[in-house]
Each structure stands twice: as C-alpha cells, then as structure tokens.
Amino acid sequence: MTGLAPVVPVLMYHEVAGRPDTASRLAVPPLAFAAQLAALAAARCTTITAATLAAAMAGETDLPERPVAITFDDGFADFHSVALPLLQQHGFTATVFVTTGWIQDAVPAAPRPGRMLSWQQISEAASAGVEIGAHSHAHPELDQLPAQQLARELTLSKELLEDRLGGPVPGLAYPFGYSSARVRRAARAAGYRYACAVANSIAGPAPDLFALPRLTVRGSTPPLTFERIIRGQQIPMIFARDRALTKGWAMVRRTRSAVRQAAPRRADPASADPERRW
C-alpha cells in the first residue's frame, strides 16, 4: 500500500490464559485468542509490528493492505508457550513490551504479577521475528516520578534489552498507559523512536509517535466487537466509555503530579526545573 492507511487498529493484549491460571479481567483465554487470530486471517489482515507502524507514520515506509498491529504488555510467559505458536500458525507477527524488572530469571525490581518470560524465551521470540519493546524496569506510574527516577526507568529497561538482544530497541509502552508531555519528552531523550499509550482509539494518519493509541482486548471482548475493530468500522461504545474514563483520570493525574512537583518549588524557588512542567 502506498502511503498511510486511513486507520490502523493496534490491539493491546496482556495474558493469553484462562482460569484457573489467572484471575485477570484483561486475560484472553487461548481459545478466544485463537478465534481472534482466525478472524484476522479471514479478514485478510496483515499483521505488522509497532515499529513498522511508527516508521510508516513517520513517512519512512509503506504499509501493507489491511494492516493490524498486535501488541502485548508486561511480558507474561504465556506469550511464549501459548500466543507465539498460535501467531506462527498464521504467519503473524507481534510486539511484546517487556518489563525488565519482572523477567523471570532476573533479580525482581518489583513483585511479579505472574509467571513472566525468561531471557531465553525473550531471545527466542525475537529470533522468531517478534519485536521486543520496553515497558519500563519496575512498572511504575511514570507520570508521577521525579525527573531522575523517570530517566532511569526509561533508560535502564532499554539498555538491558539491547545488551541481551544485541540490537536496537526503538519502542516503549507506558505502564498503565500513563504518560504526559514531560514523560514523552523523557522518552525521546532516552532514545526511543516511538511509544504506545492506550487511548482505546484507532491510529489515524498523523498521530503523535510518542502517544500511539491502542485498543484493549479483554477476555470479555465479544467476537462481533473484535471483527468491527479489525475491519476499521465504527468503534463500539465500550471503547468510547473507556476513552472518557481515561481522559477523566488523566486530568486527576495531572493535578496530582502538579501538586507534588509544585511543593519543592514553593519551598525553594531556585530549585525550579522546567522539565517538571506539563
């Protein structure tokens, strides 16, 4: 396809597991995930990585017909054992955003939410053509961190992945989808070329490359809703409600962060840091 597609769905997954393996409402059972991949194949969609999408939106490459990007956050081990074999059956690719402090055979930087990918499994996924991106080191709320800690979270995860994989890691997904103008500037400064938010909308022709929108796929996502998403049809009301909640919560977070960062400036005006502004 020459030029940019009018809409590109970017799907966001977490776990591909069912009960009793997980109690997460975001988890998609393996049979449901397999059916979703079959729907993508039936719609003649071509899967692309998030990096390919970002490059196309930067005018560096063209997109295929009916592009869809599949992304996974956190780095759960079931990506390697369940999702990857199903993707390979269809010749599909994906992007996995890994929280490096949660890697199963690494020293944990924070309590792990479940069984996570090992370094060997991450390497095997990369060798299979899956893009590996960063998802911070300890999975904090980036928009609430002071500048030094924010920079460390962004650079450490990138450096660890690049050292182990032996190649560049251009992509980031914000933990919880939380970001701000300050966080996006920090991501650019850390050397990322793009970053994914949530937003629950479809990427249009000219989005902010450091706030690429994604659509949350849950275990409760109905098959008809999924098909409407991948065909670029009108976004169902469930996502409109999610967008409204996200925007409202963003306002709360901006206020909270502004209050936290204003306190030291009131105590010592000479300590004002322009990078702390939104």
229-275 tens-digit pLDDT: 898 765 655 554 454 444 444 444 444 444 555 555 443 333 333 22
> Quick check: 98 and 134 in contact, CB under 8 A?
yes
Q: Containing domain of residue 97, as a range? A: 10-235
Torsion of CA 134, 136, 137, 143, to 10 degrees: 170
What is the reported pTM?
Answer: 0.85
- Is 135 domain-assigned? yes
- Is 46 domain-assigned? yes
- Is 268 domain-assigned? no
Using alpha carbons, list the distances in angstroms from residue 248 to 139, 206, 212, 241, 275. Answer: 22, 24, 19, 11, 24
- Is 261 domain-assigned? no
Q: Which residues in the chain show pLDDT less than 50? A: 1-5, 240-241, 243-258, 265-278
- Is 2 domain-assigned? no
Give the helix/strand (H/E) hosting 255. helix 237-267
- Is 207 domain-assigned? yes
Cβ contacts of 149 within 8 Å, gap of 6 or more: 140
Q: What CA–CA distance (Å, rounded) separates 255 from 121?
A: 40
The number of domains in the chain is 1
- Is 265 domain-assigned? no
- Is 253 domain-assigned? no
Q: Which position has the token pair 């060798």? A: 127
CATH label of the domain that carries residue 182: 3.20.20.370
